[in-house]
């Protein structure tokens, strides 16, 4: 599935509070929808604890394999904010203080400045600062890794700010519904896959007040193939 | 953090529909909360596509490292349901048809039986069938891997059915709130960690109608340490 034609991505959510169930990760689902709309295939969504070594090993696994890696969380000033250190470890670079960020932070805090807030001026050496319009603070990126804050409002605002740079050929999707057993339609789906090798088909049983149904999703970057496969399946599933 | 005293777990959500953003994974957050209540530390939450080879490599990474692995999804009768195959690959065992499951499926479908539904009688060779009270279909488990269906209602019902076997010493948690900058309280948190080495502290900035606050979570399996650390911090954060 990691086809050459597709641009791929992985999401890394960093936060003990998600793993302990205190909060529900809201960024993964948002990013999944946003990337799909941009024509990018999300291949992994991984939530890990606030530990430098785990961040390092996770990025080691992902960064050579997928086109973009988006991290969420661990960018604040406290002891459990270790994303910058973890990324630096993975890339074998130092953590350095960025003069522009230091200036922004000194301006913002003024006389209230404390040492800990200057941690937020630290970057993996060589990271770029991506600015966009109304952002008060830039997004860090280094190689193919983009570092986002975990707070959902900030994650979204920042992703919206830079997302157009990622846009590629869109996916085309058609959804069909039928009230037959999934096992009954399984051979029809397999047969459609043989006939239209460029498409992907998903099949999802659902239950609601009106009973049971199966949602069948037909998808590809080739609009015509999707239309032909969906027409074929609509007939077969009747 | 992977301390000897703690029982650890990982979640593996298997489903293209989650990665494409069509549906939001509801089982990860549910499981995170349920495991925490049972005294188990969830160490990873990983969502991967419906691909045997990816399931294999993911389980290879996790199964020797954490005490329990819970998978979600990929157990139905269609071409994209490949969890049983992926688990079998990871463990180096064959996929075999289980006579009891075959009988259940034949009884259920009766004359409507089709070949595809018998795929749901397949198990990784050597897997156990866990039954509980009102379950219509057992949970498969093999070594430390437990296979759950992706449909949230079924995932919950089945997990509720067997969860007591996982219960261990509970976590104790106290939450404190304060309206100071996170960077200002960062040194206080670090100092508390030095003073109470058996606890974990998380710090989470929040925004709501009333403004900004920081939630500080103090946690450990030692109730007394949590109480002492929380009392200490409550004073320090005033």
Does A162 lie in the same domain as A78? Answer: yes
For residues B75 and B141, membership in a common domain is answered with: yes
Chain A: nearest CA to B94, how far in angstroms? 22
Rounded to 5°, the CA angle B220-B69-A148 comes to 70
Q: Residue B183 falls within a domain, yes or no?
A: yes
Is A90 among the domain residues? yes
d(CA A156, CA A88): 24
A48, part of any domain: yes
Same domain flag for B180 and B154 = no
| Residue A2 forms part of a structural domain | no
Listed residues B166, B187, B205: the one ending a domain: B166
Q: Do A28 and B47 touch (CB under 8 A)?
A: yes
- d(CA B218, CA B237) in angstroms, rounded, equals 13
> CA triplet A152, A18, B140: central angle to 5 degrees?
130
What is the DSSP pairing of strand A200-208 with strand A139-142? unpaired
What ipTM was predicted for this assembly? Answer: 0.93
- Flag if A32 and B21 touch (Cβ within 8 Å): yes
Which residues is B12 bridged to in the sheet? B46, B71
Same domain, A198 and A117: no
In the predicted structure, residue B138 carries a pLDDT above the cut 70: yes
**Residue-level pLDDT at A1:** 43
| B6 has a pLDDT exceeding 60 | yes
Nearest CA to A144 out of A74, A70, A94 is that of A70
The answer to whether residues A139 and A40 belong to one domain is yes
pLDDT above 70: residue B72: yes
Nearest-by-CA chain A residue for B218: A17
Number of domains forming the structure of chain B: 2
Whether A21 sits inside 8 A of B42 (CB atoms) is: yes
Helix residue ranges, H only, B23-142: 27-38, 52-62, 83-91, 99-109
Residues of A in contact with B119 (CB under 8 A): 183, 186
Domain assignment of residue A52, yes or no: yes
Per-residue tokens: A134: 């109304």
**Chain A residues inside the 8 Å CB shell of B51:** 1
- The answer on A106 and A138 residing in a single domain is yes
pLDDT per residue as tens digits for the range B143-174: 999 999 999 999 999 999 999 999 999 999 99
What is the pLDDT at residue A112? Answer: 81
Asked which of A146, A166, A186 is the last residue of a domain, the reply is A166
- Would A1 be classed as within a structural domain? no
Interchain pair A186, B77: CB under 8 A = yes
- Angle at A159 (CA atoms; ends A155, A163), nearest 5 degrees: 170
* DSSP track, A201-232: EEEEEEEETTEEEEEEEEEES-HHHHHHHHHH
CATH number at residue A149: 3.40.980.10
Domain end: B147, B166, B185, which one?
B166
CB atoms within 10 A of CB B170: 13
Q: What is the dihedral of CA B52, B53, B54, B55, to 10 degrees?
A: 50
CB B124 within 8 A of CB B95: yes
Let me know whether B102 and B213 are in one domain: no
Same domain (yes/no): B134, B187: no
Question: Is the Cβ–Cβ distance between B145 and B69 less than 8 Å?
Answer: yes
| pLDDT average per 10 residues of sequence, chain A (238 residues) | 74 96 95 98 98 98 98 93 98 96 90 87 96 81 97 94 95 93 90 94 83 90 95 93
Tokens of A211: 């009973």
Distance in angstroms (rounded) separating the CA atoms of residues A155 and A169: 24
Residue B42 inside a domain? The answer is yes
- Determine the structural domain holding residue A193 and report its residue range: 172-237
pLDDT band per the 50, 70, 90 thresholds, residue B133 = confident
The mean predicted confidence, pLDDT, of chain B is: 93
Give the predicted TM-score (pTM) of the model: 0.94
Compare CB distances from B19 to A45, A51, A114 and report the shortest one's residue. A45
Specify whether B189 is located in the same domain as B161: no
pLDDT at residue B1, rounded to an integer: 43
B68 and B185 in a single domain? The answer is no
Q: Are residues A156 and A187 in the same domain?
A: no
Query: B96 and B58: one domain?
Result: yes
Q: Kindly state whether residue B1 falls inside one of the protein's structural domains.
A: no
How many Cβ atoms are within 10 Å of A71's Cβ, its own excluded? 29
Give the list of residues 6+ apart from residue A91 with CB closer than 8 angstroms, or none.
A59, A124, A126, A142, A143, A145
Query: Nearest CA of chain B to the CA of A93: how many Å?
Result: 25
The domain that contains A207 carries what CATH number?
A: 3.30.70.2860
- Asked whether the beta carbons of residue B181 and residue A112 sit closer than 8 angstroms, the reply is yes
């Amino acid at each position: 599935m990691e086809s050459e034609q597709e641009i791929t991505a992985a999401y890394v959510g960093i936060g003990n509070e998600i793993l302990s169930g205190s909060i529900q990760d809201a960024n993964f689902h948002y990013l999944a929808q946003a990337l799909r709309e941009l024509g990018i295939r999300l291949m992994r969504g991984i939530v890990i604890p606030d530990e430098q070594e785990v961040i390092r090993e996770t990025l080691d696994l992902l960064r050579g394999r997928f086109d973009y890696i988006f991290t969420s969380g661990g960018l604040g000033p406290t002891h459990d904010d270790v994303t910058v250190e973890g990324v630096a470890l993975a890339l074998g670079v130092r953590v350095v203080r960025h003069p522009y960020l230091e200036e922004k932070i000194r301006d913002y805090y003024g006389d209230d400045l404390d040492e800990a807030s200057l941690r937020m001026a630290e970057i993996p050496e060589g990271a770029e600062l991506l600015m966009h319009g109304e952002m008060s603070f830039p997004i860090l990126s280094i190689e193919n890794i983009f570092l986002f804050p975990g707070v959902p409002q900030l994650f979204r605002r920042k992703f919206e700010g830079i997302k157009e740079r990622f846009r590629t050929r869109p996916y085309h999707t058609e959804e069909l519904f039928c009230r037959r057993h999934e096992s009954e339609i399984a051979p029809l789906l397999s047969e459609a896959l043989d006939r239209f090798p460029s498409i992907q088909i998903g099949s999802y049983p659902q239950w609601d007040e009106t009973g049971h149904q199966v949602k069948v999703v037909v998808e590809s970057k080739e609009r015509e193939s999707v239309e032909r496969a969906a027409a074929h399946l609509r007939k077969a599933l009747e």
